[in-house]
Amino acid sequence: MKHLTTTKKTVIRTGRRGKPLRLLLTALLAALCLAGCTAPGGGGTPAKTTPRPSPAAAPSALPTATPAAAPTETPEPEETPARTAPSEALTIACTPFSGTWDPFDAAEGSDLLLLRLTQTPLLCRRADGSFPEEPEGVGAAGVRVMSRGDGSTVLRISMRENVRYADGSYADADDLIFTLYALLDPDYSGRLGLRDCAVTGLLAYRTATGPAAAERYAALYDEAAAGEGPLAELAAFCLRAAWGRSLRSLSAWCAGRYLETYAVYALGMEAERARQEEGCLRAFTLWCAGLAEPAGDDGEMTDSLGNRWNPAAGRNPGAEDLTDNFIRAYGSAEAFDEALDMETERLAKEEFIRRCGAAEAASAPDKRLSGVSKVDDYTVDLQLDSFSPADLERLGQLWLLPMPLYGDESLYRPNDGLYGFPYGDLSALRAKSGEMLPGAGAFRVVETAEGFHLEANLYYYLGSPRVGEVWFVQAGEASLASLVSEGRADLALLPGSPAVFAEAREMPGLALRSVASDVWGVLRLDPPPVPADPEDGAAFDRAPLEEAVLDLAAVCCRASAEAYFGAAALPFAGEETEESALEKLRAVLLAVPEGESLRFTALVPGRGQGDHPCREGLARASELLADLGIALELRDFAADEDYWAAVDAGEGDLWASAEVFRSPAPADGRLGRNARLLYRRLDLLVLNTERFELLSLPVELTWARDHISVVETLELK
């Protein structure tokens, strides 16, 4: 990070994403940060391959004023004042809560921990990551995938009949329908991604048009967005408006997570005052994104366009200034969306269709989703025009939410097209994001004048937890293990890294378990396409050669990752060995015509000193390939920005990255033709040995799965 650094972890790049934001991506990528090294880049949306902004447009390359003196490390949050917890209660050490418990968004960190303890996931999930057809284990419903003759798919979601919220009320299909409609409403701009499911009639519903009109206007938008046709100006207007909407969501996100800690440093004013003016939040967003310097001694801060602002004096950027800065930084809405998992382009297209439809339609269409139907009181069908396993993963991220509490029961009239809130207006739901309402999880929130703790949900469908209360000690990440060691907390979850593991081993009174997370090291091979020469007939198919080279490099890199991380990573199990990979490569070489290029370049991130888990593996692969007449050159980059610039420019063939999966990877370890899985990260579960018996009873440690997809645990001590 440019102005804020941290002694405990290194903020990293996301694979094929935009330049990392100073604070925004710290939280999103916390699971990828490894102490003492620059880890492979990672991404939270593996399906996207949109190139990042060019280096010239990246925030670090923008003109900025000389920054004010910056702190040498990220301020460590202060430990919350100690409260005396009952001896039989479970005490969890965690990083500070944000105070926004929004189950309609993609929570993270301690907020996600709290949601896991108080809410219940919509879908049940087996230990292997699959989703059962009938409810079993933790979760409110099973899901059955039913293919139809017309190519569409119906997901039949069958709920348990004994799921009860902490207030004693029963969950049913109306709660599920309310949840689905809230996440598919045109006013929803969160990060749960359910809109990526091809729900039948979704575009027509979100744009308040009929199916035929929506399809016709969508095609018209594609033409207008390219600057062609009479509606090009309207398309540009809608895109600009969509930028503004996305940035408002981004500003709210920044304010909720970072304003309290960094307002004085970035803006020269207290957080409470900054919250009162939207312009201050825009200035703060620019700083978070690396597009403005912090306020100097005179209170002024300069943005990436050279504009000077003074939040404390009331001179703040307007909405257009914020948009201009981000357009300059990312160049396109597509690059911005890919970098921050936003939906600017989708919003622009929908607004275009909505405006065209409003100008033509004589009356408003029926505001109901044709792809959502209630079968009975505990069964809902979700019809998709096309289906992929990722659709189940998206549904698997959802919580089952009580409609009467989060919505307005008087507005739940499905026959009238109302589902607990006015169509296109989720303001009432957003207003409740600061409240922790009763869920159907194992615990319920109890608020007191001194704070809050959790008590067992006596109506929990799997039986009331044997531990009646859960208390929290909030502190900085660096202090969590010591709190457990000193007996002030019973357990904590830490990001796994060699340094963290080694430090925890030296602390007395700890039992350590490693828990496999969903972060996977990936090796990619993306050679530039070789155009066929019509005069030479059919071009040689290099795919088998490239796959064989990639397989050998992956085998070598798995071994080097195991040596590099030690207990902090699990190499991905695969049947391929060095010898079998070499044998496959020898066979492929027999078919390679003379004169075909046998030269490859591997790009290695890190610090230019072999400081990357794949460095030794790629060096070993280079030696083995040389014996076969294949050259593999290693370029070991000392600067992160140089590495990613080379990746974007296509200067390398092999390069290390990382991807985030929400379920176990394929058994054969393959992501596709041009990528291989290498290892998965582990998080460290730190347990108080004197309380180990208690810890084994209540929560089954399921709360530790906030970003965990694999069940196994390994004793480290």
What DSSP line would sit under 496-511, residue for residue?
A: --HHHHHHHHTSTTEE
Q: What is the pLDDT of residues 92-111, one digit of tens each?
A: 998 888 777 788 876 777 88
**561, 54 in Cβ contact below 8 A?**
no
CB atoms within 10 A of CB 241: 16
Burial class (CB in 10 A: 0-12, 13-18, 19+), 376: exposed
* Residue 634 CB partners (closer than 8 Å, separation 6+): 602, 604, 615, 618, 619, 622
pLDDT at 550: 93
pLDDT at 308: 95
**571, 679 in Cβ contact below 8 A?**
yes
The Cα 648–Cα 277 span in angstroms is 39
Residue with tokens 């902004």: 53
pLDDT of 590 above 50: yes
pLDDT at 209: 86
Q: Would you state the torsion angle of the CA atoms of residues 473, 475, 477, 483, taken in this order, to the nearest 10 degrees?
A: -50
The Cα 281–Cα 492 span in angstroms is 33
Residue with tokens 């290498």: 678
Q: How confident is the model at residue 243 (pLDDT cuts 50, 70, 90)?
A: very high
pLDDT of 543 above 60: yes
Q: Bridge-partner residues for 376, per DSSP?
A: 379
Q: What is the pLDDT of residues 14-48, one digit of tens each?
A: 222 233 343 343 333 232 222 223 232 222 222 22
- Which of the listed CATH numbers 3.30.70, 3.40.50, 3.10.105, 3.10.28 matches domain 516-683? 3.10.105
pLDDT at 390: 81
pLDDT at 705: 42
* Residue 330 CB partners (closer than 8 Å, separation 6+): 18, 53, 57, 336, 339
Q: What is the pLDDT of residues 125-151, one digit of tens each?
A: 876 678 999 998 889 999 999 988 788
pLDDT at 365: 59
Q: How confident is the model at residue 703 (pLDDT cuts 50, 70, 90)?
A: very low
**350, 207 in Cβ contact below 8 A?**
yes
Nearest to 22 by CA among 311, 254, 191: 254
Q: Which parts of 131-225 fold into alpha helices (H)?
A: 173-184, 202-207, 211-225
pLDDT at 373: 94
Q: What is the pLDDT of residues 299-351, one digit of tens each?
A: 999 999 999 999 999 999 999 999 999 999 888 888 888 777 788 998 999 88
Q: Which amino acid is at 459?
A: Y
Mapped onto helix, strand or coil, the DSSP state of residue 17 is coil
pLDDT at 164: 94
Mean pLDDT in residue range 356-371? 72
Best-predicted range by mean pLDDT among 178-192, 549-563, 597-611? 549-563
**Greater confidence, 280 or 712?**
280
pLDDT more than 90, % of the chain: 33
**658, 39 in Cβ contact below 8 A?**
yes
The rounded Cα 301 to chain-centroid distance in angstroms is 30
pLDDT of 440 above 60: yes
The Cα 655–Cα 661 span in angstroms is 19
Give CA separation, 69 vs 66, 308, 400, 699, in Å: 9, 18, 47, 45
Mean pLDDT in residue range 155-172? 94
pLDDT at 180: 94
Q: DSSP for 548-598?
A: HHHHHHHHHHHHHHHHHHGGGEEEPP-S--HHHHHHHHHHHHTTPPTT---
Residue span(s) of the chain under CATH 3.10.105 come to 516-683
Provide the whole-model pTM: 0.70
pLDDT of 232 above 70: yes
Q: How confident is the model at residue 6 (pLDDT cuts 50, 70, 90)?
A: very low
Mean pLDDT in residue range 156-172? 94
Antiparallel, parallel or unpaired: β 90-94 and 469-474: parallel
Q: Which helix (H) or strand (E) holds 446?
A: strand 443-448
